[in-house]
Structure 1
Amino acid sequence: MFTTYEEAMNWIHTRKGMGPKPGIKRMEWLMEKLDHPEKKFPAIHIAGTNGKGSTVAYLTSLFKASGHTVGSFTSPHIMRFNERISINGEQISDNAVLELANAIQPLYAEISETELGPLTEFEVVTAMMFLHFARIQPDVVLLEVGLGGLFDSTNVAAPKLTMITTIGMDHLQILGNTIEEIAFQKAGIIKNGVPLVIGNIQGAAKKVILDMAKEKKSPVLAYQDDFIAVNQPTTRDFHEHFDFKAPELKLDDIEIALMGHHQIDNAATALMAFMTFCKAQKLNYSEKTILAGFRQAFWPVRMEIISQDPFIILDGAHNEPAMAVLLDAINTNFSDKKIKVLFAALTTKELEKIGPWLMRIPNHDIHLTTFDFPLVATLKDLKERLGVSDATYHEDWKKTLTQLKGKLASDEILLVTGSLYFLSEVRHFLMEG
């Protein structure tokens, strides 16, 4: 029995050493013991290589603006663990975390004695989330997949709608070495007869998903086939503007605060999912609430301008597709600036492919560093695997960040990028400093 939030958090985090254990048998056992909380609220289940977090942010804001209560489950957290489980964007309380941890801990002890073995950190947190939302009963819960889809802990859910945002090469050691294998894992969230909305996915990956949907008799709404977004370039601000077109809605000049052309794809996919879910669940919305929802949407460390004097951008580009959209955003908005880059990553990422993208950043001055985290890439790893010929290496990221920030000229931007776990620490450091 935990008596404080700190005790509960220490117990939860000691599960981290278990690492990912693909498969949902432990979760199925747990849900049975808890009387199936995962079936007691309407949910949207969201998978994808990139874009899951910002899609959750858009959907949260759209439901809120329309007057509906929306729960969300995301990972990793950026500033504080409690962010992972939230209602209407408000993170779960410390007392609720304590109560939920005490509810799961005896079951953790029980399952550890079975052939299934102990739960991982993510399984513990996922179970806490299901239990929390079953008690709260929001109008909708947004479930972000942790890793893959088919064998992810969240895949015991019984959603009313599923989404796949993007497909790219990431987590190869777990999900597979080809785009088709990765798409198959993501498509594992598709449920029999449950509608599916897919984002800007092309070629072989799209075929895998459509084939799975056909097999499961799942109706599909696909970006560019069933709905489309038309970019409206602007020099008014660092926001994106687009027109949305679908059979049931045409809406011009939608404004989103998140930067990057890829965010238009994510926003359009979120809007299609929002309308589809609302129609099925008989939830109200209007063009006015849609426009307001998009204007208010926010998601940290995705091309986030955290300061304009000095000019600092945080972006968690931790794989090749994310680096590609980061470069596009830089070239579109800041090609005339000198870009000082501070980068750190995990060894699990395809560093050999990320390196060339770093070197394509215009007018760059690249600084590579490391941080305290499991599986972090050391300076030696970065030197050997990134292949960035003109980089400077730093052991102490806090000291380096402070120095780079202090020397930033008016025509320079400091871009901090790489692992989301690194960006979480950086954002914490900058906000508290």
Structure 2
Amino acid sequence: MAQERFVTKEDVFNWMEQGCASGIQPGLERMNWALERLGHPERRLKFIHIAGTNGKGSTAAMIAQVLKKAGYSTGMFVSPYVTEWNERISVDGRPIPESSFVRWAEQLRPLAEEMDREVGKPTPFEFWTLLALCYFAREAVPWFVVWEAGLGGRLDSTNVVFPLVSVITNVGLDHIHLLGNTPGKIAEEKAGIIKPGVPVVSGAEDPDAISVIEKRAKENKSDLYLLHRDFWAEILESGPGGQRLRFGNVYRTLSDLQLPLHGEHQVKNAAVALMTLDLLRQFYAAVLEDEDIREGLSATVWPGRLEKAADRPDIWLDGAHNREAARALAESVRAIRRSHTYERLHLMLAVSADKEVDEILTPLLPLADSVMVTRADISRALPVEQLADAVRRMAPEMEVKKAPTAAEGLRRLREEAGSGDMILVTGSLFLVSEVRSMLMTNKEQGW
């Protein structure tokens, strides 16, 4: 009996529950098998491949925005999405239309079923990756594609491309059960995206991680550009609207750059993005005027990364979900509180069960006057009571409240917090996505 054709995105998602393998299955065998049968669409595209523990999405957004301002049609593949399902695949900031998504999924379904018989089912992320490659190469045809790795790098499904530049934003401890329990081991996975002769830009700061990346670059005869050694950025001024910074490298200096994103870590991400763009100018003849860079950087928006999403009380969102991200967030919040006279800080938390809860809580709890623990609407969310126990264990004097859902937690906090207070929603990008969606809906409805 013939299968019914996909008509809506829901048809595709429902099929993926059975047609795709569950869980994370690192390896490139399935991807290489599929791309061979598809005629290697990835070979038609010019990629900037980005891996790293944190900051991949922000860095990708900055690069893509500058390229767009310079007049280059630019595709972007990122994960996870924050607001809308199709944000993962976009061209010039426009997410893939549902009609295109459904059409390419329909064309890939027979291949996925053949894969199941020959080499095993694709994972959902592999299916998304294949769909993105087909869409970019055979329909949208952007000039550049900013290509974000999912997990790790070496065995990630995105690591089937030969990029113009390889980017490793930074290296920290996350997904240690899959990638390793030291920065050096994790760097080995991230550095797996380095290709022979392709220049590498990295914001890594851990000495062991840098050593691994340097070794891999040398083996591949790839020029390596390191933050603090070959390029740098400094904050000139911070305020409610973002940050003003100066960037420099071995070639030149750019001053008085405006970055709407908050936090010192975003300045480092900006430095990585700007160095990458300079390499595109020098080695690949990309026409990027200084004004394109200024306008692109100042127009960069990346939802859910230290984003102020509501006022009175001010609600800030940040998807910090590992130790390094939580530490960076804590530093940024301290800076924000120096420029804002917030009376109290209310922390709204959810964490996935596979994360190191204590490492996330340690830098954040000292900032809070109260904590609301909840859970994101995903199967691997840490139960509310377990998260509450962890908070009480680490901060016995803390006022801890519990909410069974993000919606309930947000409603209560907005009622209880004063107009001069700060609510910080963090610990999980899934939680941030839920809360942001609710806040945006409220704004649209005039609440």
Q: Please, what TM-score do these two structures have when normalized by structure 1? A: 0.96
Q: Is the partner of 1:342 in helix, strand or coil?
A: strand
Q: Structure 1 vs Structure 2: percent identity of aligned residues?
A: 35
Deviation at 1:343, TM superposition (A): 0.5
1:36 equivalenced with 2:40 (yes/no): yes
Deviation at 1:67, TM superposition (A): 1.0
Deviation at 1:251, TM superposition (A): 1.0
CA distance in 2, matches of 1:80, 1:285: 30
Q: 1:234 to 1:383 in 2, by over 3 A?
A: closer
User: Residues 347 and 381 of structure 1 are in contact (CA less than 8 Å); yes or no, is this contact kept in structure 2?
Assistant: no
1:173 equivalenced with 2:177 (yes/no): yes
Deviation at 1:15, TM superposition (A): 5.8
Q: 1:234 to 1:177 in 2, by over 3 A?
A: closer
CA distance in 1, matches of 2:314, 2:127: 39
Q: 1:272 to 1:422 in 2, by over 3 A?
A: same
What is the identity, as a one-letter code, of the residue corresponding to 2:248? Answer: K
What is the identity, as a one-letter code, of the residue corresponding to 1:140? Answer: F
What is the identity, as a one-letter code, of the residue corresponding to 2:383? Answer: T
The one of 334, 352, 358 aligned to 2:358:
352
What is the identity, as a one-letter code, of the residue corresponding to 1:372? Answer: D
CA distance in 1, matches of 2:97, 2:302: 20
The one of 310, 313, 325 aligned to 1:310:
313
User: Residues 27 and 123 of structure 1 are in contact (CA less than 8 Å); yes or no, is this contact kept in structure 2?
Assistant: yes
Deviation at 1:95, TM superposition (A): 0.6
The one of 367, 384, 403 aligned to 1:379:
384
Q: Is the partner of 1:155 in helix, strand or coil?
A: coil
Q: Is the partner of 2:158 in helix, strand or coil?
A: helix
Q: 1:13 to 1:360 in 2, by over 3 A?
A: farther
CA distance in 2, matches of 1:318, 1:4: 32
Q: Is the partner of 2:201 in helix, strand or coil?
A: strand
Q: 1:408 to 1:157 in 2, by over 3 A?
A: same
What is the identity, as a one-letter code, of the residue corresponding to 1:263? Answer: Q
Match of 1:131 in 2: 134
The one of 322, 327, 331 aligned to 2:330:
327
Q: Is the partner of 1:334 in helix, strand or coil?
A: helix
Q: Is the partner of 1:270 in helix, strand or coil?
A: helix
Structure 2 residue runs of 5 or longer lacking an equivalent are 443-447
Match of 1:230 in 2: 234
The one of 148, 154, 170 aligned to 1:150:
154
Q: 1:299 to 1:15 in 2, by over 3 A?
A: farther
Deviation at 1:200, TM superposition (A): 4.2
CA distance in 2, matches of 1:232, 1:308: 26
CA distance in 2, matches of 1:346, 1:378: 9
Does 243-252 or 343-352 show the bigger shift?
A: 243-252
Equivalent residues in 2 for 1:168-317, closer than 5 Å? 168-235=172-239, 237-317=240-320
1:370 equivalenced with 2:375 (yes/no): yes
CA distance in 2, matches of 1:428, 1:257: 21
CA distance in 2, matches of 1:53, 1:265: 13
CA distance in 1, matches of 2:288, 2:29: 39
CA distance in 2, matches of 1:100, 1:381: 42
RMSD: 1.5
CA distance in 2, matches of 1:406, 1:252: 43
What is the identity, as a one-letter code, of the residue corresponding to 2:106? Answer: N
CA distance in 2, matches of 1:238, 1:144: 27
What is the identity, as a one-letter code, of the residue corresponding to 1:148? Answer: G
CA distance in 2, matches of 1:5, 1:22: 26
Q: 1:200 to 1:240 in 2, by over 3 A?
A: farther
What is the identity, as a one-letter code, of the residue corresponding to 1:255? Answer: Q
CA distance in 2, matches of 1:12, 1:291: 42
1:397 equivalenced with 2:406 (yes/no): yes
Q: Is the partner of 2:58 in helix, strand or coil?
A: helix
Deviation at 1:375, TM superposition (A): 1.1
CA distance in 1, matches of 2:10, 2:406: 27
What is the identity, as a one-letter code, of the residue corresponding to 1:178? Answer: T
Q: 1:240 to 1:34 in 2, by over 3 A?
A: same
Match of 2:445 in 1: none
1:6 equivalenced with 2:10 (yes/no): yes
Does 364-373 or 296-305 show the bigger shift?
A: 364-373
What is the identity, as a one-letter code, of the residue corresponding to 2:285? Answer: K
> CA offsets, 1:218-265, max 9 Å, x none?
111111111111211344x34111111123221111110000011110
What is the identity, as a one-letter code, of the residue corresponding to 1:409? Answer: G
Match of 1:431 in 2: 440
CA distance in 2, matches of 1:414, 1:17: 38
CA distance in 2, matches of 1:393, 1:414: 15
Deviation at 1:217, TM superposition (A): 0.8
Deviation at 1:364, TM superposition (A): 2.4
Deviation at 1:372, TM superposition (A): 2.2
Length, aligned pairs only: 430
